[in-house]
Structure 1
Amino acid sequence: MVDLHNVGTFNADTEVKTDYLNELEIMLENFLPRAMLKARHNLESRIKTWKNDWAIVYDILKRKDNSGFGWDKYRQMVVTED
């Protein structure tokens, strides 16, 4: 996903264009030849989970009253006050 985003071919404003799942399957086939993975369903499920999880973290960090939550850029993790 990161590689596809960095290339920019499948970017559409803040989202990714629809054909990216086909490209991900091709990338998986190249990375794991003869594995015969058909990953579309698994990829869609994983991406949906990531979006939901990220939305929760994003809401916690961007709210004006974030209840003591913050982001530690050095440890790359969410932190909170004791």
Structure 2
Amino acid sequence: MLKAKPNLESRIRTLKRVWLIIYDMLRGKNNDFGWDEHRQLVFAEDAVWNSYINSHKETGQFKHRSFPYYDQLTAIYAKD
């Protein structure tokens, strides 16, 4: 067994959790969010962000944070 296996599994879980949050923002009930292909991040007007962050505390970190693996992980996880 690889010593790195628990670390790899943890990283995969983290990536999937982050991907799911962003995927729900873009494909869920909120159509007010968009995806910036160039900067690889979620964008919306400040009022939309503030409203969403009030009800989804874990999403605040993504207001200014890029997620370059979104497209690749969508190809993997969107079918789940």
TM-score normalised over the length of structure 2? 0.49
* Structure possessing the higher relative contact order (Cα contacts under 8 Å, 6 or more residues apart): 2
Greater share of residues in helix: 2
Structure with greater strand percent:
1
TM-score of the superposed pair, with normalisation by structure 1:
0.48
